[in-house]
Chains A and B, each alone.
Chain A
Amino acid sequence: MAQVARKSTKWILFIILLIVAAVIIFPILVVLMNSFKANLFISSTGAFKLPDSQSFVGLANYFNGADRINFFSAFGYSLWITIASVACILLLTSMLAWYITRVKGKVTSAIYYLLVFSMIVPFQMVMFTMSKFANMIHLDNPVGIIVLYVGFGCGMSTFMFSGFIKSIPLALEEAAMIDGATPVRTFFSVVLPMLKSTAITIAILETMWVWNDYLMPYLVIGTEYRTIPVAIQYLRGGYGSVDMGAMMAMLVLAMIPVIVFFLTCQKYIIKGVLAGAVKG
């Protein structure tokens, strides 16, 4: 009897989960469906109707939208800025973390606390001066912005790297140095290989941040070079006039890489979230 009862609760729970899953997927389906409809049929009560012979426009919204905001160049900028920033963050902050963990002193601990402090400060605090300053020293281009991302990503990533480095025994590094390896050699052939799993976690967290970041690319390089979030917001245009058809199509295109990334790296993403939550 108890067995039967447990089985039926399981089915009730399953149905609850199905409903929640439907709520999660529903908005995405609405956007997908509307991306094939003419502008006129998206607004107001028509938003939830399937495309019919009257409203169906095929891929017209996709061509129109991609053309208007230059989606593929935005995709290129997003991809370049994300990959280059994350690569630089990983390399430069792992070196910094090793240095400030292994060299004890007032200076290194001051650096450590400054970095931790930077994790707390909201972007709005530095947004105005930073974007003007970046403009002054000519960092307002797709290469210069990488310097800014390294600076902003520095805090969390150095914090996580040095947390891990503290836990690895000194003996290995000392043995390498006694055998005559330079610090550079010791770092790249002894320390760096051990940092691999922490590096993957950090890479995931920084990728999620840089790819979706809107304000920094908008303020620093937004007038000339648009990343995907900036390009999408740009569709809004003047007062109230939004081409909803093109918008829907661009939202679909913007979601595809994210969903592909998630499905391929799901295991690492979940791990990253857990590590980030515990540390941050």
Chain B
Amino acid sequence: MEKTLRKYFPLFALPALICFALSFLIPMVWGFILSFCEFTTITDATFVGFKNYVRAFTVDNYFTGAFWFTLGFTIVTVISINILAFTIAMILTKNVPGTNAFRTIFFMPNLIGGIVLGWIWQVVLNGVLAGFEQTLLSNAKYGFWGLVILMNWQNVGYMMVIYIAAIQNISSDMLEAASIDGADGKTTLFKIIIPSVMPSITICLFLTLTNGFKLYDQNLALTNGAPNHQTEMLALNIFNTFYSRTGFEGVGQAKAVMFTIIVAAIALIQLIATRSREVEN
């Protein structure tokens, strides 16, 4: 069968591969090469070595600023989203009335797109801050915590669904045995429930980690980096480098390569973490 099928490469594999090459492979390789060039259009470029990579840090400090902002934002959201999602999942697996309706409501924000979300929260947060005669853009810390609140609102439901499935999978025998042996709530939580859902915790940690690092739409719609680039995250900084200043396309591409390396490193660590856990089990 393999032999006959092999001849059908043009029919089965080629159409998708052409799309893949046109939209991803060619632009990716081209982009990597251009990160070492100076250019304004992609066909007219001169080789400049690592100059773009150096300029990414020396022209202004927005890129490093964006990195620290993104890192801080990601750390805060990874912790808060996972704690909230896990807590809600625990409550929703306790046979409380209306569980299904609550689950539906909590998950819903996740489907609303980033741009729409950003504008929704802009109105709400500006409404609250107006009470203190402030706006979202008057201080970078409002933008930071605004983004944190927005991200929690959007992502808690998603992670909750994953945690609920994991908690429901814990065998009831084990929980019963624990309660017969006289384990209290705290012991059951830390000795049985959390170890049993560890694979899901790993998945959720990395999902929230990459979501945080790659955030763009919400950042654009909520603050657009204001005031003075202080709430600009990495993805938005890269976009602005490309498109708001001519002559900086190479720098933008160099930043994009570094951004890719960071995101790929996170994914690689995730892969190793999940692999080693699979071996343990």
List A residues at the B interface (Cβ < 8 Å).
10, 13-14, 16-17, 20-21, 23-28, 30-31, 34, 42-48, 92-93, 95-96, 98-100, 102-104, 111, 114-115, 118, 120-130, 132-134, 137, 139, 147-152, 154, 158, 170, 173-174, 177, 183-184, 187, 208, 211-215, 228-229, 232-233, 244, 247-248, 251, 254-255, 258-259, 261-263, 266, 269-270, 273-274, 277-278, 280
Contact = CB atoms under 8 A, between A and B. Distances in A.
Contacts of A213: 113
Contact of A125 (B11, B42, B220, B257): B257
B259 A122 contact: yes
B256 A125 contact: yes
A24 B106 contact: yes
A111 B26 CA distance: 14
Tell me what chain A mostly uses at the interface: helix, strand, loop, or mixed: helix
B221 interface: yes
A215 B239 CA distance: 10
Contacts of A255: 112, 116
B123 interface: yes
Interface size class of chain B, counting residues whose CB lies under 8 Å from the partner chain: 35 or more
B1 interface: yes
B232 interface: no
Tell me what chain B mostly uses at the interface: helix, strand, loop, or mixed: helix
Given A44-B130, A151-B20, A103 B31 contact: no
A213 B27 CA distance: 19
Given A99-B8, A121-B28, A183-B8, A247 B119 contact: yes
B91 A16 contact: yes
Q: Which of B116, B162, B165, B249 has most A Cβ within 10 Å? A: B116
B259 A31 contact: no
Contact of B116 (A132, A149, A232): A232
Given A24-B108, A129-B31, A158-B16, A17 B124 contact: no
Interface of B: 1-2, 4-6, 8-9, 11-13, 15-17, 19-28, 30-31, 34, 41-42, 88, 91-92, 94-98, 102, 104-109, 111-116, 119-121, 123-124, 126-127, 130-131, 153, 157-158, 161-162, 165, 200, 203-204, 207, 214, 216-217, 220-221, 235, 238-239, 242, 249, 252-253, 256-257, 259-260, 263-264, 267
A269 to B, nearest CB: 8
A126 B28 contact: yes
